[in-house]
Structure 1
Amino acid sequence: MNRIIKEIDREDKKNPYTDQELSDMLGIKRSDIVNFRKEKGIPNSRDRRRDLVMREIRAVIMETPDITERGLTDILVKNGYRISRSAVAKMMKEVETKGEFLNKKTENNDISIKKITEINKKIENDLINENVGFENLIGINGSLKEKVNLAKSAIMYPPNGLHTIIYGESGVGKSELANCMYEYAVKKKIKDDKSPFIVFNCADYAENPNLLISQLFGVVKGAYTGAGEDRAGLVEKADGGILFLDEIHRLPPSGQEILFSLIDRGEYRRLGESSNKRKANVLIISATTENPESSLLTTFRRRIPMFITLPNLDSRSVEERYEIILKFFERESKRINRNIIVTKEVLYALMNYKCKGNIGQLKSDIQVSCARAFSKSTKEDNKVIIDTDSLREHIKKSLPKENKILKNEKYDTLEDIYIDINEINNVNKNYFSKHEVNEIYRYVEKELKVLEGKNYSEDEIKNIFFDKLDKKFNQIKKNNIMSDRSEKQMISMNLKNETVEIVDKVFELLKNQYESINNALYPALAMHLEHAIQRLKDGKKIINPGLEKIKKSFTEEYEIARYVVGIVEDVINITFPDDELGYIAYYIHKFCMNKDEVEQKVKVIIATHGKVGIEMSKVVNNVLGLECTYGIEVPLEESPSDGVESAMLDIINKGFNTDILLLMDMGSLIILGDKIEESLGVRCKVLSRVDTVLAMEAGKAAVIEGKSLDAIIHDLKDSTNISVINQKNGDFHTKASENKENILITICLSGKGTAITVKDILEKQLKDMKHEEIKVVPLGMILENEFEDEIKQYEKEFNIIAICGTIDIGYNNIPFISYSDVMNGKGAERVVEILKSNKNHMEKDNHIGLKNLIYEELVLENIEGISKEYIIDTLVKKLEDGGFVDSRYILSVYKREAMGSVVISQKVAIPHGLPENVIKPAIAIAKLSKPIIWDNEFMVEVIVLIAMKENNKSEIKDLLFKLSDLEFMEELLKTNNKREIIELFSEEY
């Protein structure tokens, strides 16, 4: 055992030996090395280098406070450390806390504790005030986050900032960003409070260079006819501040050139001066709608180091567009000094219409709608109602037919908005905000104002309100279920101790009443009760117009709510009104169930190679608050057949007697569905994909919604691109063809009569060729804008082989057969050719062969693997460059890796992404010159990155079979070049 100590003593201190490395080097069991270390008090490899790494990280952060995780990782790697970005991120968080600086000794004796404290204080203040100046900019944490970071960098860069070009379409907010940059500079004390912000539109003087120069730089008396006195220019006025040059593309080349000396040396002359050089410290921010590459001089562009491109309105998220719309309505409410009601139909239209002028046009259109509505109101009205009649015609066109809002999850939360000029700051700025959704009282008050504004009777208001309340609680339930917040996280969200005590006691009460309580009730009820208590303390009323209906509909829940209120009153000595009991009863109704209510018709099983399925199941069950899914591990070291048997035994031991939905990742698990049906005598459907979102949807449908197996499959197929596997023969059937009847469609632009005639001819020809099973559907006259909708309806129920017509409309790559072919007797022959082609194509796709997926340019041998991320990035780049995957593939790989890595024999890692991001199937291979740490657990020598489509099941199976074979692995590790690697993977096995 002394050998262990010797090796540790002489190891590279930057990269200490892991227990596995010591085991491989000394021929001693890893477990024996671990026990010896612990006995001797020797830290593990991570802890042995911890102080060394932390010192280096501190030094870098002190020198470069704004360095990113990636930047710091790159520096450490260049300095000789083998370290992952995730490990660096954890250490950065420690270093950037006050406690880390004060409690750890620093090697730099020149840095005093006082100085370190000051630095930490600055870091804390920076974190608190990081968005000053930009706080009112919508999208600061979304689509504009990176843009704002660039803008901050331009302002902060020493000594005087970086000159900047802001590029974007008209109306995207270039001027607003420039203003925010100025505010940021002032509030961060980079610029003086009185420093100027001067705006100059270059278009105003584009055609007159002399006037342009005089405006920018000033003029001396007598410089030209009419120059009767000395006059300062905008540059002089902007000294010490910012000069914003709007529409800089309108500045002619001569105009751009006169700025060179100002940009280069901070010098300029007034028009008419020949010798006197003036000085000015001016930061230039410019804006343009034209591509700077073509509209500005190259010599000018080189002098402007910062370039910021702003997205157009269509590129912004629906959340951001909603906030922008709301902001403009709030401004108009203040302008006209009236409360405003905006109907949800108007909101839908404004969020969906094509706004070519971006935010600028959106603002104008909202102003027009408010003006129209205002003109219809009377002086006595204290509110203005913005309905669809107030909209311009081009906006109305975005509304669905019959004015019905489409059923789209993104717009589920759209409601009429009530903007009170006295409470504008309390309007829900983001209808996607989970915290706001739970604030039921504000919602109730706004909805009542909206309903009362529409002259409903009291009974009508109660009935409508009850329906709205039910919808609102569905949103609350959904938002809390999907929020992934634990009870401990909720407690840390500034909840008062008394609230936590109340909710804990309420949970104990409910556990005695219900067999299943969704965990999401904890945060939802905690926030609600905190609002209720504070509201009563503030002397505000709690109103529940649906109280009587709640009492009748949820009698049991209402009685339990009485006990809940008793708990609240005992803890805080406050009386709750009956209206509040109604809300609490609704929470109980939505989140609590008894066994008979949660009996599953379907069990959802997640089966994966490795522990990914088990961990994914835990995540899903924790988020949904119920045991909705069951994870199964297929051991990586077992052969495919043994792996299936292990999984099958695990499933049998669970004693399932219901239908089963099996989510599987790849390989030999295809046959698991057959075995389940044979052994358990239940129906089993297998889906050829597994990810957390899909598992969550399946679990929710099975348990919370209690749907049947067929209903779940139908819903998942409609909302995703999954494939259902026919277990009996292993074939993959996509949504387009699974168990669907083949049909031909005939269309005729002149009328249905001709289409029917062609139908009759085709049916006779098909019968003669013994294909009478193919149905022919005549559609007759179809207008172009209606054609797609009509065909989509047929695609839902049938597999469309081809479209016959006089004109090839070219829909969705469906084959076209001309009427002339039909009349010449060749129509049916074309149909048969298409069927054969489809069959051959499927067969070809399904049997590519493993050797045809290995390309020389995708095989890297004896490369130095700096880190896991470096290897993945390198291999995916190879795949992208070769046209095998799209740009989104790399994200799907990292998402999959985040759920857990697939490693075989502890030496081969198999990262992979989603099939929908694969253009052409391929396998990328990297054989390393020396092992690297993979997820702080394995020493990996080979990385096999799989880019497969869903119909490459046989190739996946062959690959896993090879990699699971010890003899194959030994030969793979002995290979010395690309040729040997390719030959080994290409051999029949």
Structure 2
Amino acid sequence: MDWKRSRTMEKKTKRQLYELIEKQMNGKQVRDLNLDLFCARSLSEKMEISRNLASQYLNELFYQGLLIKIGAHPTCFLARSKLLNDGYASVYANAEDLRIQAEQLQEKRSVFSDLIGSSGSLHYAIEQCKAAMNYPGSGLAVLLHGPTGSGKSLLAAKLYDYCRQQRLIAEKGQLITVNCAEYSDNPDFFLTSLFGYTKGAYTGAEKDSEGLLTLADQGLLFLDEIHSLTPECQEKLFLFMDKGIYHRVGDNQKWYASAVRFVFATTENPDQALLKTLFRRIPIVIQIPSLKERPLTEKRELIRHILEGEEKKFKMPVRISESAYRLLEQHEFRHNIGELKNDIQVGMAGAYMKAISNASPTLDLHISDLPSALVRNPLQNSGLDQGSTSRLLPLNELLPYGGRENRYLLFYQAAMQNYERFQKHELTLDTFLATTTLQLEQYVDFLFFNNENFNSPQEEIVQSMLANINRLLCKKLGMPELSNNEIKILARYFTDLMQNEPISLVEQRRRSRTIQDFQETLKSVNAKLVSIVEEILPLLKTGLNLSLGSFEEITVTLFFLYFNHGYQPAPIPVVIMAHGYSIASGIAELANQLLHQNIFTAIDMPIESHFETITNKLKQYLSEIRNCHEIIVMVDMGSLEGIQKYIDQTADLDIGIINNVTTKLALDVGAMIMEGNSLEAVLENAKQRSLPNYVIVKNRVRPKAILTVCSSGIGIAGKIAALVENSFPKKMDLTVIPIAADTLQHRQASGIFDKYNVILILGTLNLKPQGIPFISIEDIINQSQSDQLQEKLGGLMSKQELVVFTQNLVRNFSLDNLIDYLTILNPEKIIVYVEEILEQIQKQLEFTLSNNILIGLYLHISCLIERLIIDKRFVYYLNLEQFEAEHGDFIAMIRKVFGRVCRAYNVEIPTAEIGYLYNYIYQGESVEKQAECVETSKSELMESVGFTE
């Protein structure tokens, strides 16, 4: 079995295991589940795999955030996707704890739970809607503003369901939907429809008629395309909203009342499309994102959801070609979800006709079935991999087990693992902090460049709250102000927590001792910093309504260390002032990081800010400085160069001002301050050093590094890194670093490319990073990229060492696979025997086997020896007698090279097994293909050769 097939099988088995858990949970409440069915033993028996392998896969799925764990005896696992509510923890001590929380969550289950994006791009919009509906009386009017097809009508329907669930409207209350565009040319008809009319109000009005306001009384009235109404209609609507009473058309005497909740929708700019009087009566305007603005994960969920709907309609299994799926992923749908759904339905209609004509049991959607306008767009579709057009994906493969990686959970696991290694004295304190900071940097890269759920109104609120807390604590504690960049990083962190849940308090209690020790270690590094974080967190808990545990306190402390706010202030503080949103912040942060001392404070001057505002900030900063008699102000250009005119001359400070600030100049000034130079000396030397200069840099020596990346996530990339490191033939002046795919896509964001000379990227996913060669692990094993490997590693290894490296990689990869396949044998022990056998076979046959064949033989021979020990199956080989007659020398040689392992395990290798080895070695065919009847039982074998009892 070759490397690619092995990984495919592993992925398939893991998926099947997850789907088995989902199937066993389908349609059941937690209280009705028999948890014994969800332990490793029961699941392994149903899957017909070893218990150890099932346990390994279950834990991997748990760490990916796809399963929850119930720590009973035995430990059980449930699929998070099948739990009918959000809010479940990751780990429960026992089944009773789980059932109690399930009952609590069921009571408050939200009707929005099954709305795609409810915990992502639509989360803030939904929270606003809920707040509006819960306002006393008839709630607050809501305007949904978004492009055509973005889901405004669906959200309005969900709001009605929510009001019914929360008993905000009467049992008889209805949802009345009106498309105002139908009345754009007939305003009178709209008014009679809305308010009703009396007999004789107009020609043909033969009796009194109730209007929509009467029908919607105690319910919800959804007015779509509200901008289509004439100013007269909008004015009448405003008057009702203002007073809550109205006349029917034709009756100016009698007043009617209606307690109705209003939801409006428009595709136009409401400032321009609505009367000012009406717009003022709609206090909550909610922006609904277009499909382009929504995360790719949500777009994938939408595609799958629509295809699942088609599967139910046609009552046939649906599959989609990989190229068609990628096209739907990448295409920019002008009319959003509505257009996406229409295009899929058009494609399904064509696929259905093909299925009928071919008598196919499945509906297969190919790129050729989709509308031609979709396929013809060369700009959007240029990146499609035409090589994958024939691969058909069942719907359960469109999303990896229904979710995306929880990157904060991965950071938690990595940080805890680092600390446990520090406790075991495997890492020094400095190495532990450096390693954890590097992983925190990767998490920060994710927060900034995987912008799926960010730049939202929710993030803006968090950012504003953090800015206020920052100002408050700076005065109270005398801590340096956080820069705009630092506030934004923290805002994204807390927004991520709000959308993905913090590390569960149950999980933190489980590892409470380690977490407590972690906190104490950070206190020993900087006690003042920990005390500052302890002041911040209670304010955030209250303001954000978040349940934050001890690890969140650790994370925020690590952020502050990352920001370099853990160092003692310098004898001469420096303030950097520069035009631009975060130019000054960037220079100050970098200089503090590189100098390892908190010397610089930033005052940013966004282009739209007033000069007076900036000078007031500087004055305030100068007035709050304590125990300091000298300060330097560094400015960039323009009006800031004359800032000394605006500084209060009565301040008890000597102030030096330097213009033309750059990062280099800031570093020079900081270094001189650390050396103990006086204010005058620093300023004089800064003047000399600020003269422009240039140099041509032809090369820059940095430590060499290899990156490993995998489409399955950073966890598998870490495994690949370990395999590569363990395969080096000697100690190498080379670092192997696993990296997340999204970090690699935004290489300018990661400190890795600044710290290391990345010479090569290895893995399973080629993201085509500019200027850095990529070699897949499969190509190394196949030896198809040996020249490029020699070119990149030739200066570090000799040709012979490169051969050994490749051989070791094959061996270690095989060992990694054997862990999954062997039940009773120790993989590390058996592989030594197999390595010796393969070396002798190649020596006796006088030729070298390819790496693909070697991997297959490592796996096959190891499993063969275990099978002989267990003696579970009888092997049949076609034309055995002929093989014995023609290949006696080969049989004797194999028995000889197998002699040591056969004696060690007291087994004998059958001639039939030697036959399969011969076929594999000489024909290069898969063992599975050659041995389709290897599993044949003894009785079946007897029948096959004509012997019956």
Q: Shorter-chain TM-score: what band?
A: 0.3 to 0.5
TM-score normalised by length of structure 2: 0.40
Task: Compare relative contact order (CA 8 Å, sep 6+) and give the higher one, 1 or 2.
Answer: 2
- Which of the two has greater helix per residue? 2
TM-score normalised by length of structure 1: 0.39
